Structure 1
């Protein structure tokens, strides 16, 4: 068969799958609706969905369900916007040895690893995700196949490769170094031309001021936000100086808190209303829960993380995490754990907007488990209210990524990206570990706690 005939067949199959997955007319009836905007929950709610979008919201007493709508009961359930995870790594899936993983799986990222990670996230209730750091072509391909309905996954917002001063040996496929300010601009221009959604900057304290300024300025000229690491005080200082939009991680290793001058600089930035919020993705779950996972490794046996992976990949990951206590990645983590609450407190008092992000894919941290665990630590340990935590996983990410016209809340006219869980999630946030309903663009991917055949996306 000619190349043209193959491409035409693939296009027809993609179109037919997309048509078969159309949600048509669906009514979600009976649940407690948490809209993502912070409004009081709506009891006995009714949400009407026509195709991809929400057409009406009300209650069983004031919004009748038309006879041509398929009813999905949400009685006894919390209904909320599809979750966002603002820091995932689709190219990783919990393996403990990055050097081995990068060498072994680079050529399997696009066809196996990233699609598997995407589906695992979606079935965990993550309907939008920001993928930070992966080879450009694999990132673009995965995002496009999800958009075309060829593979299931969340709406992807991608950075492609990291931008840094010099890539670590063996990571050149997904870490781009810069020689000088002109080269920094060229690299950002290349990413912008390819169609990335965000620029990821790391180790910016190893770059010159001119290079950091060039990255941020060029990104902003292309209407791209800049996300930067906050592992070291100088990374934060130089990032604030040149206008980074979103910092990642709590950072600072075992230091008990952020230095006073850093906190003053953050407060000065958050006081400038004309610049909008300063966003921060603290990614605390992977650190806080490490020793629990080490001592209670039952979660590692949950085969949800194996979905979509080949047997040899699964075996390789299992072998690498057989002894969690020996993983070098977490060597000082128990010492860092005790600093997290204070750093979160400092950030909140300084006026930053916190968003849910997990670093999902790092050793021991799987895409099917990370997001709900982050929400749980925010609420149970960090003292953040369930409503604020949910907004950090729904509304604020949509604000940050300029998607509020379509996403971030359950509102008339927006995409029907909706999840539901049995019980009161505002009282028991960890109910999100068992998402019963997952809908994206009106298409049902999970119902009654079980994945739906994604070839038809109907029960």
Structure 2
């Protein structure tokens, strides 16, 4: 029996491949972050959002479809899209202390839309959001992925886990408000359940608070708040579900407990000691020092409503944290780029590069902390962190050599995400 004309046409349409969207990016130079070398005359072909080929001077030229779009960045230098491993897109430093309680709950997600766009335009094409209320970071990720808003690739952690009354609990309101964080746990089994809840509702990473913090009340940054067996339960449960983990940890004991427990990245790392640095090196645990934001908090915090006790804690933490960063850098400890954006204005993420260089990292190692190292820590080396075939077509361009002047990264001349120019 002859097939109907409609069936034949339908089969023909299904058999015809859709035309690929191809973008060709050219520039004067490209920083190969893996080797640390600067390469001349790069040509990067991006097909359907992924890098299809990368060639440089004398490397020949690939076959390029006639309908390919072209982005010529002229005299600029390109490098991989940057990765910030510690942001809070729904936080805003303008509203510190009790001033944030003047707004309705949805305000934070609404203003987070602008924060996401500012972050992307600053050259950060991927971020890990380590803690938000109401699964707002999951919502932002979904809105970006569906094309409703502009923003980076977001790895959400949803609610941060912690101990009742600890840094990641609600510590500003009296008992009559009965305000608690929904992700607190006071035993290994309770914390395992909290991991499963966060994953259920969209978390792609798990954050846990191992010590007190600067911006909570009634907590001391250096004091451990979860026992090692509790931290191990978080790490084991998250890894069982194929999720990476991050620990907020200022104090030396809490840092070492989190490393021994198997947490993947340690955030803040303020009071780390020589034993902790050696332990991190031995176990390959990534350290994420947020060494820029102290400047902002001490200069702007009071006028933004940050309480005197919190400013005093930041003053006590900041100087020592930077000296311990210097020690960790000198020792060659594994480093990632973690800024705690939201404690300072979003979009200023790249200002931390200069501080990292000032306190001991070479420019290429500072850049690697936000590219190759961050991709490894995320478990995303197939997707981000380098300009290689198969990875997303995420690029940032600067006007000059960032190895000679790392502050150029604060002023990108172009940002490309998945082959689409956003700046």
**Comparing 418-427 with 281-290, which one deviates more in the overlay?**
281-290
Question: How many pairs were matched up?
Answer: 382
What's the counterpart of residue 255 of structure 1? none
What's the counterpart of residue 109 of structure 1? 108
What's the counterpart of residue 418 of structure 2? 441
Q: SS state of the match for residue 183, structure 2?
A: strand
Q: Matched residues in 1 for 2:141 and 2:304: separation?
A: 34
Q: Matched residues in 1 for 2:408 and 2:202: separation?
A: 36
What's the counterpart of residue 41 of structure 2? 44
1:157-176 equivalences under 5 Å are 157-166=155-164, 167-169=169-171, 176=183
What's the counterpart of residue 342 of structure 1? 323
Query: In proportion to residue count, which structure has more helix?
Result: 1
**Comparing 323-332 with 194-203, which one deviates more in the overlay?**
323-332
1:25-424 equivalences under 5 Å are 25-59=22-56, 61-64=58-61, 66=64, 67-101=66-100, 104-110=103-109, 112-166=110-164, 167-169=169-171, 176-204=183-211, 205-252=224-271, 258-259=272-273, 263-272=274-283, 277-288=284-295, 293=299, 322=303, 329-362=310-343, 365-369=344-348, 371-379=349-357, 381-424=358-401
Give 1:46 deviation, angstroms.
1.4
**Comparing 343-352 with 83-92, which one deviates more in the overlay?**
343-352
TM-aligned CA distance change 1:269 to 1:390, over 3 Å: closer
Give 1:99 deviation, angstroms.
3.2
Give 1:404 deviation, angstroms.
0.7
Q: Is the 8 A contact 2:42 2:57 kept in 1?
A: yes
Give 1:327 deviation, angstroms.
6.2
Q: Is the 8 A contact 2:402 2:409 kept in 1?
A: yes
Q: SS state of the match for residue 33, structure 1?
A: strand
Report which of the two structures shows the higher radius of gyration computed on alpha carbons.
Answer: 2
Q: Matched residues in 1 for 2:297 and 2:99: separation?
A: 21
Q: Matched residues in 2 for 1:198 and 1:78: separation?
A: 32
Q: Matched residues in 2 for 1:387 and 1:355: separation?
A: 13
Structure 1 spans left out of the alignment, 5+ residues = 1-21, 253-257, 295-319, 447-459
Q: Is the 8 A contact 1:133 1:175 kept in 2?
A: no
Q: Matched residues in 2 for 1:382 and 1:178: separation?
A: 37
Q: Is the 8 A contact 2:27 2:78 kept in 1?
A: no
Q: SS state of the match for residue 38, structure 2?
A: coil
Give the TM-score normalised by the residue count of structure 2: 0.83
RMSD over aligned Cα atoms? 2.6
Q: Matched residues in 2 for 1:403 and 1:357: separation?
A: 16
**Comparing 325-334 with 125-134, which one deviates more in the overlay?**
325-334
What's the counterpart of residue 217 of structure 2? none
TM-aligned CA distance change 1:45 to 1:251, over 3 Å: same
Give 1:387 deviation, angstroms.
1.0
Q: Matched residues in 2 for 1:192 and 1:248: separation?
A: 20
TM-aligned CA distance change 1:105 to 1:182, over 3 Å: same
Give 1:335 deviation, angstroms.
4.9
TM-aligned CA distance change 1:265 to 1:93, over 3 Å: closer
Give 1:240 deviation, angstroms.
2.3
Q: Matched residues in 2 for 1:228 and 1:244: separation?
A: 7
Per-residue CA shift, 1:338-363, capped at 9, x if unaligned? 4344201322344431111111111x
Give 1:402 deviation, angstroms.
1.0
Q: Matched residues in 2 for 1:350 and 1:286: separation?
A: 23
Q: Matched residues in 2 for 1:23 and 1:78: separation?
A: 27
Q: SS state of the match for residue 393, structure 2?
A: coil
Q: Is the 8 A contact 2:270 2:318 kept in 1?
A: no
